[in-house]
């Protein structure tokens, strides 16, 4: 079933609920945020946004700008993932610090950083550069951790005998990367990349439309176009914008990801031929074209020269040579870093301590309100995705019809259509509340749906036969067969979904629309308001609260559930 | 063929793993010399550290103590003159046969103009002509291992190490590949100076090697060395060949010791705790029934491999178990049923369970577990607790295996019960008093 086969519950990685590594990671985040907030004091009070024009002929230009930002962030993420993953996989001591850090970073709601990043960058850089950079940083942070974790997992699951063969045949770092690590990790890296891009659109759109108070941080791009169109109530422009967005996403899928997947099928580790290899018409066309083949022949000697040069330059190092690198410089650096962290931690604590009790009360109330919204959106999402997902997952004909529709619909980032939805519900009572839950729902339901489909299609045929023979029907069938079988997948989907919902709260609870400011009670609204009014201690406190809440929820709620799923309901 | 120049020397090699505060010896004081022109086989039961030793002597792994000398020089890092043929082939699945062989040459900086013809020549010599552009997944197991051999020979190693190279192959492919390797080796058409083969197949070792180094486990150490003075090609049915195989079995199976030595100590007591062999009760019953049908209730151990179609490692584990429980005695490569073993073989299922229960109650490890359960509340313990206690005696992975075997045997004997969902071990409801 294409995409769905690749969604598997990730392996349990940590035994204990909290470790010192987690504490260090949280401290690091707190200090980084504090640094950002300190810089924000110098941010200009008023920021002029770009003029967004609604002529459809400008759309290709806007689309290109958006894609450019995505590509830049993705390139950064890939480089980061490869280096960080290698460091964590090959160095025991580094692993002990890097992996908990990654684990916390992965569960943190990235969008909550957006205001801090925007403000701090505007304080030190020219306006245009600052906003561009902020959007790239934001997308980077939404992609990098996931990619890095996947890459690290690939590296650590390379079969021992292949690693030993690389040693005994003296592959140097470059050849090992090219012939072992890269091919081995390629397929999962591609799937992770596709997911990262889907997530990236969500964050890019949010970054492109972000406006608080007198500060207009918008960026010219598809997201801003859609928002402007909704603002002016221009239905034609809205349709043009959505069309372009879908077209862009579909084109990327057809011209980039599908061909890459078809190409990467050769890196399958299985020693048997697969029944349904991924196919791509575009890849086939390229593969068979004389021009491409000629180009390949021209480039082959160049590649050979590059390999030879790299092999000569850095022959294989034996592991013990590489291990003896710990020296005083390293220790000094560690001490310096530790000192800086401690100092930053103390200063951040001071800033937080100065915050009046009343503000903390607001934060508590906001946290509860947002938590409630997240819960409601999850329940709604569960209520429709379980029956629909099971129907699609167990019925091949239905899957064939619905799958492409679901995939295209799911690919539209919720943040892009949010302004349009707002236009529709704004005049209802509790309009923003409905809109906020809707946005969260849009950000959560697809994760759940995909996971339920994956779980339902993984139910073994003989179990289905057995339950049919036993005459299980209706609720009994659901309780004994379907729910236990999809439970691990629901939990996996739920973890991702609740993360998405928290992220959405930043843009969902506070909105500037048609010249007026709308906001509701919530942690996301509080973060935006603090940004608008320049209340930086509150901004720090609210952002940290959100980080902490989500990390705690993950550890105390999701992880035990996950463990239960792993131990009890895994079909093997 | 030996010309008396030592190619490789291992001096006082120890390999020690630490787990928490405990230390486990995987390899203890191994001294070994491989001469130029020699084909040496390292033989021993699984867990005797022979694969670890192979990794140490090629430089893939550093020993905790001791020295590896290659041509008289201490080895630093991976030995560039050695190569390995792996049990699971270790081919890169995304590279063609040719690319796999070429990769080893490319890594040494050999340009395509030289390496491609050389790789093609080797592929031709192992009989894979026409398959250069096939991917490993398109080949059978035997053909894959041929690629493994071609790749290893491509770098013209002085020391060719084979890590159970035939054990993942079907019987026929293994046999033909053995013959082809021997032909290459004895004809001197490869520049290899010495071959070192790790194996747990006794017949294979006697068939191929000039010298067999026999290892034992707990801790992994060299038990004996045995020259094989037979000329190639060796006749498997000849009396000399059979006699040598019998000798190796006699060395590996040992001799039944007095009971106190056989049983070992309980955890926490002074002395070595004897681990339980990883054996299924059904297999053990099969062995005893088989012996009971033999005239005189006895057999040569080496014959059992053929008669029961099991590999020698498995047969030795079964023998060890039967010996430990007092169902058989072992001496000079022969196995004989004791009267108790005979009774067991002829008994009904329930009677068997009773005999088995009474026998395993004598094992210190079982006594220790029962004692713990009796002291525990409600006579039950979390399996994790028992595992942690076992980890004081065994490395973590081994402790897990021991626990599994304990539960399996205890369940069969109806001494223990185990609840998988809450991972609790219980004493069965009518616990007899155990003399401690």
Encode pLDDT of B317-351 as tens digits. 898 899 888 899 888 788 888 888 888 888 888 88
Residue B433 lies in a domain: no
Are the beta carbons of B71 and B174 closer than 8 angstroms? no
Contact between A171 and B62 using a beta-carbon 8 Å cutoff: no
User: Is B111's Cβ below 8 Å from some Cβ in A?
Assistant: yes
Residues A171, B107: C-beta atoms closer than 8 Å:
yes
Euclidean distance between CA atoms B170 and A556, whole angstroms: 51
Q: Could you give the CA distance from residue B102 to residue B95 in angstroms, rounded to a whole number?
A: 10
* Chain B contact set for A307 (CB, 8 A): 106
Q: Are residues B417 and B321 in the same domain?
A: no
Shared fold status for A57-269 and A356-572: yes
Nearest CB partner across the interface for A169, out of B59, B62, B155: B155
Nearest to B106 by CA among A539, A37, A304: A304
Q: Say what the pLDDT of residue B127 is.
A: 85
The DSSP line for A422-444 is HHHHTTSTTHHHHHHHHHHHHHH
What is the number of domains present in chain B?
3
3-state secondary structure (DSSP) of residue B11: strand
The crossing angle, in degrees rounded to 10, of helices B383-390 and B364-375 is 130
Whether residues B372 and B338 fall in one domain: no
Last residue of a domain, one of B341, B357, B373: B357
Domain boundary among B357, B378, B408: B357
Q: Are A175 and B107 in contact (CB < 8 Å)?
A: yes
**A165 lies within 8 A of chain B by CB:** yes
Which helix H or strand E contains A30, and what residues bound it?
Answer: helix A20-40
Mean pLDDT on A25-39: 84
pLDDT at residue B252 above 50? yes
Q: How many Å from the N-terminal Cα to the C-terminal Cα in chain A?
A: 19
Give chain B's mean pLDDT: 85
Residue of B nearest to A309 (CA): B109
Nearest-angstrom CA–CA distance, A232 and A53: 11
- pLDDT, position A68: 92
Class of domain A57-269: mainly alpha
Does the pLDDT at position A15 exceed 60? no
Q: Do A321 and B77 touch (CB under 8 A)?
A: yes
What confidence tier does A327 reach under pLDDT thresholds 50, 70, 90? Answer: low
Contact A170 B78 (CB under 8 A): yes
pTM: 0.77
For the stretch A188-228, pLDDT in tens is: 888 888 888 888 888 888 888 777 777 778 888 888 888 88
Q: Hey, which CATH number is domain A356-572, 3.40.50.1000, 1.10.3720.10, 3.30.1370.10, 3.40.50.150?
A: 1.10.3720.10
End-of-domain residue from the set B307, B336, B357: B357
Task: CATH number of the domain at B339, please.
Answer: 1.10.10.10
Indicate whether B84 and B186 sit together in one domain.
yes
Tell me the two tokens of residue B41: 């086989």
Report ipTM for this prediction. 0.75
Q: How confident is the model at residue A128 (pLDDT cuts 50, 70, 90)?
A: confident
CA separation for the pair A427, A423 (Å, rounded)? 8
Burial readout A268-300 (b: 16 or more C-beta within 10 A, e: otherwise): beeeeeeeeebebeebeebeeeeeeeeeeeeee
Q: Tell if the CB–CB gap between A169 and B62 is shorter than 8 Å.
A: no
User: Could you write out the three-class secondary structure of A37-56?
Assistant: HHHHCCCCCCECCCCCCCCH
What lies within 8 Å, CB to CB, of B271 at 6+ separation is B264, B265
C-alpha closest to that of A121 among A193, A40, A210, A52: A40
How far is it, in rounded angstroms, from Cα B85 to Cα B152?
6
From the list B403, B433, B430, B428, the residue with the least C-alpha distance to B415 is: B428
Residue B262 falls within a domain, yes or no? Answer: no
pLDDT tens column, A534-546: 788 888 888 888 8
Minimum CA–CA partner of B86 in chain A = A161
Comparing A8-17, A85-94, B399-408, which segment has the lowest mean pLDDT? A8-17
* B191 close to B160: Cβ distance less than 8 angstroms: no
**B152 and B230 share one domain:** yes
How far is CA A194 from each of CA A258, A561, B214, rounded to the nearest angstrom? Answer: 10, 27, 54
Domain shared by B242 and B145, yes or no: yes
The boundaries of the domain holding residue B299 are 277-357
Q: What is the pLDDT of residues A355-389, one digit of tens each?
A: 888 888 888 999 999 999 999 999 999 999 999 88
How close A162 gets to chain B, by Cα (Å)? 5
* A6-15, A262-271, B141-150: segment of lowest average pLDDT: A6-15
Given this model, what pLDDT does residue B198 score? 92
Asked if the C-beta of A268 comes within 8 angstroms of chain B's C-beta atoms, the answer is yes
Q: What is the mean predicted confidence (pLDDT) over B124-149?
A: 88
Q: CB of A319 within 8 Å of any CB in chain B?
A: yes
Contact (CB<8Å) B107/A172 = yes
If you average pLDDT over residues B205-226, what whole number do you get? 87
Calculate what percentage of chain B has a pLDDT beyond 90. Answer: 14
Across the interface, whether the CB atoms of B94 and A183 are under 8 A apart is answered: yes
H helix or E strand, kind and range, residue A200: helix A182-208
Residue-range domain boundaries for chain A: 57-269, 325-354, 356-572
**Would B260 be classed as within a structural domain?**
no
Question: CA A87, CA A92: separation in Å to the nearest integer?
Answer: 9
Structural domain contains residue B270: no
Is the pLDDT assigned to residue B356 strictly greater than 60? yes
> String of b and e for B217-249 (b: at least 16 CB within 10 Å)?
bbbbbbbeebebeeeeeeeeeeeebbebbbbbb
Residues of A in contact with B112 (CB under 8 A): 304
Which residue carries 């091919």 as its tokens?
Answer: A183
Collapse the DSSP code of B336 into the 3-class scheme (helix H, G, I; strand E, B; otherwise coil) and give the result: strand
pLDDT band at B274, cuts 50/70/90? confident
Q: Is the model's pLDDT at A271 over the cut of 60?
A: no
């Amino acid at each position: 079933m294409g995409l769905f086969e690749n969604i598997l519950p990730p392996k349990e990685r940590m035994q204990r609920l909290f470790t010192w590594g987690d504490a260090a990671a949280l401290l690091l985040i707190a200090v980084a945020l504090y640094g950002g907030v300190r810089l924000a004091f110098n941010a200009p009070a008023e920021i002029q946004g770009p003029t967004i024009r609604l002529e459809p002929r400008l759309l290709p230009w806007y689309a290109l700008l958006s894609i450019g930002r995505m590509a830049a962030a993705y390139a950064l993420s890939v480089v980061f993932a490869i280096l960080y993953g290698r460091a964590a996989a090959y160095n025991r001591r580094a692993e002990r610090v890097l992996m908990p850090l990654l684990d916390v970073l992965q569960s943190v709601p990235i969008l909550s950083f957006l205001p801090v990043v925007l403000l701090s960058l505007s304080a030190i850089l020219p306006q245009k550069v600052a906003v561009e950079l902020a959007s790239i940083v934001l997308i980077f942070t939404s992609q990098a951790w996931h990619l890095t974790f996947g890459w690290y997992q690939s590296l650590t699951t390379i079969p021992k005998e292949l690693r030993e063969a690389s040693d005994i045949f003296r592959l140097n770092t470059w050849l090992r990367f090219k012939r072992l690590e890269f091919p081995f990790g390629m397929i999962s890296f591609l799937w992770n990349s596709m997911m990262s891009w889907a997530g990236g659109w969500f964050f890019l759109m949010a970054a492109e439309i972000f406006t608080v108070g007198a500060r207009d941080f918008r960026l010219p791009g598809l997201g801003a176009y859609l928002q402007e169109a909704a603002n002016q109530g221009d239905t034609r422009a809205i349709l043009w914008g959505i069309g372009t967005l879908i077209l862009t996403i579909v084109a990327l899928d057809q011209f980039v990801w599908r061909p890459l997947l078809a190409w990467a099928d050769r890196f399958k580790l299985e020693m048997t031929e697969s029944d349904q290899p991924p196919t791509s018409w575009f890849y086939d066309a390229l593969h068979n074209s004389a021009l491409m083949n000629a180009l390949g022949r021209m480039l082959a000697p160049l590649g050979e020269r590059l390999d030879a040069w790299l092999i000569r330059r850095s022959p294989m190092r034996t592991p013990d040579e590489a291990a003896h690198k710990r020296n005083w410089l390293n220790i000094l650096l560690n001490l310096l870093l530790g000192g800086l962290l401690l100092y930053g931690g103390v200063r951040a604590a001071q800033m937080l301590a100065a915050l009046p009790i009343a503000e903390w009360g607001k934060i508590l109330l906001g946290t509860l309100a947002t938590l409630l919204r997240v819960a409601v959106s999850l329940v709604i999402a569960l209520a429709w995705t379980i029956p629909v997902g099971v129907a699609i997952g167990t019925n091949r004909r239905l899957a064939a019809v619905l799958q492409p529709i679901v995939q295209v619909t799911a690919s539209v980032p919720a943040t892009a259509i949010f302004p349009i939805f707002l236009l529709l519900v704004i005049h209802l009572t509790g309009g923003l509340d409905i809109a906020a839950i809707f946005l969260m729902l849009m950000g959560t339901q697809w994760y759940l749906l995909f996971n339920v489909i994956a779980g339902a299609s993984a139910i073994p045929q003989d179990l289905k036969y057995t339950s049919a023979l036993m005459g299980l029907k209706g609720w009994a069938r659901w309780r004994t067969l379907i729910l236990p079988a999809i439970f691990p997948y629901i939990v996996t989907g739920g973890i991702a979904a609740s993360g998405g919902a928290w992220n959405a709260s930043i843009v969902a609870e506070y909105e500037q629309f048609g010249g007026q400011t709308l906001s509701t009670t919530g942690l996301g609204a509080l973060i935006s308001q603090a940004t608008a009014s320049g209340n930086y201690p509150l901004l720090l406190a609210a952002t940290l609260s959100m980080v902490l809440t989500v990390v705690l929820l993950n550890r105390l709620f999701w992880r035990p559930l996950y463990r239960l799923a792993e131990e009890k309901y895994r079909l093997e | 063929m030996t010309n008396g120049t030592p190619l490789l020397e291992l001096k006082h090699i120890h390999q020690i793993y630490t787990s928490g505060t405990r230390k486990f010896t995987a390899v203890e004081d191994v001294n070994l010399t491989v001469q130029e022109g020699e084909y040496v086989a390292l033989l021993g039961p699984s867990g005797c550290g022979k694969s670890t030793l192979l990794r140490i002597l090629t430089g893939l792994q550093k020993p905790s103590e001791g020295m590896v000398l290659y041509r008289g020089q201490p080895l630093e890092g991976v030995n560039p003159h050695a190569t390995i043929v792996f049990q699971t082939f270790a081919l890169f699945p995304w590279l063609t046969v040719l690319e796999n062989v070429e990769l080893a040459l490319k890594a040494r900086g050999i340009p395509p103009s030289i390496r491609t013809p050389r790789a093609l020549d080797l592929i031709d010599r192992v009989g894979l002509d026409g398959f250069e552009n096939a991917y490993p997944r398109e080949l059978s197991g035997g053909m894959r291992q041929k690629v493994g051999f071609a790749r290893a020979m491509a770098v013209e190693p002085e020391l060719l190490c084979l890590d159970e190279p035939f054990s993942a192959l079907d019987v026929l492919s293994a046999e033909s590949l053995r013959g082809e390797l021997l032909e290459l080796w004895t004809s001197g058409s490869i520049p290899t100076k010495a071959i070192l083969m790790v194996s747990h197949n006794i017949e294979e070792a006697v068939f191929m090697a000039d010298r067999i180094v026999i290892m034992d486990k707990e801790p992994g150490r060299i038990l004996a060395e045995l020259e094989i003075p037979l000329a190639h090609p060796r006749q498997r049915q000849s009396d000399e060949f059979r006699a040598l195989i019998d000798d190796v079995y006699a060395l590996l199976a040992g001799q039944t010791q007095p009971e106190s030595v056989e049983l070992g100590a309980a955890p926490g007591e002074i002395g070595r705790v004897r681990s339980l062999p990883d054996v299924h009760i059904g297999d053990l019953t099969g062995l005893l029934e088989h012996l009971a049908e033999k005239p005189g209730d006895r057999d040569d151990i080496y014959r059992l491999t053929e008669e029961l179609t099991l590999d020698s490692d498995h047969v030795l584990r079964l023998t060890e178990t039967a010996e430990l429980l007092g169902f058989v005695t072992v001496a000079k490569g022969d196995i004989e049923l004791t009267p108790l073993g005979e009774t067991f073989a002829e008994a009904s299922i329930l009677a068997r369970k009773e005999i088995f229960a009474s026998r395993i109650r004598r094992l210190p490890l079982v006594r220790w577990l029962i004692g713990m359960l009796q002291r525990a509340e409600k006579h039950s313990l979390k399996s994790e607790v028992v595992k942690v206690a076992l980890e004081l005696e065994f490395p973590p992975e081994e402790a897990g295996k021991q626990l599994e075997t304990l539960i399996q045997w205890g369940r069969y004997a109806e001494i223990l019960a185990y609840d998988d969902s809450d991972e609790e071990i219980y004493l069965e409801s009518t616990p007899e008093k155990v003399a401690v």
